[in-house]
Structure 1
Amino acid sequence: MAAYNGYIQTYALASQAADPDDLNLARYVADPLLSQTRRNIRKLKDIGAVQVGAQKASVVRNEVDLSAKPPTITLYSCLDFSDMKVVYKSNQSPIPGFSISKTNAPAVVTVWQYETGQWLVNATKEGSHSC
């Protein structure tokens, strides 16, 4: 849970600053998700945009498989985007085409325990569970 909560928080902070190179991201996220996250934040930076507000995540269920190689936790989460928007950094005006169509979305998150003992989020995808 700490890795997932850290991912949600650092993603929001890096997006609010449009900083794809934020070193804190790697404390909670591993590839391939780390590269995808940085790519998404770089898109914001390239068009002069930032995120205002932050998404919220609520885990509704989890599955733990400590005997897997690597040990894996799957989180079923509900993301709430209602307090978040993407705006131009220069004047805080909304960006055409960047509106968030869904304010609530289910997500399935994979967290692995790496050889160092650290748990890192390495994948997310849209879930089919209800939120």
Structure 2
Amino acid sequence: MRQFMEISNGILASALEGDHERIATLAEDFRPTSAMLERMKLLAQAYEEEGRPHRTNQRELRRFERMAANLSPDFVEMYRAMRLGFDDIAEQSRQGAPSQEIMHRLVNVQNVCIACHRQFELVPMECR
């Protein structure tokens, strides 16, 4: 979460300065890899169908098994949408989109985060 806030602030400051290279660099640091998106897709499907990921790659999916036990498909989809939003910001910045357009896209990403925070609350185990 701290990383998201730092990157969002950096993108906003860079947009105000017209520094598209920095915007793209910041957004690229937070965008998902295709492998991450595929694993997230598998997680969401498996959670709905079986409650856990398909065991094609034990090592890579172990983490997602733990996530599947605690995260709903809605949470995973919001997380995915947020990461894809940063991907879009990076791409648009590299293409020279106006700073105002970049800021609108950042608002859209932050709206996903706000919706997620309204819907979900992560509570440390010792607080339950």
TM-score, normalisation: structure 2:
0.31
Q: Which protein has greater RCO, CA pairs closer than 8 Å, 6+ apart?
A: 2
Q: Greater strand percent: which structure?
A: 1
TM-score, normalisation: structure 1:
0.30
Q: Greater helix percent: which structure?
A: 2
- Larger-gyration structure (1/2): 2
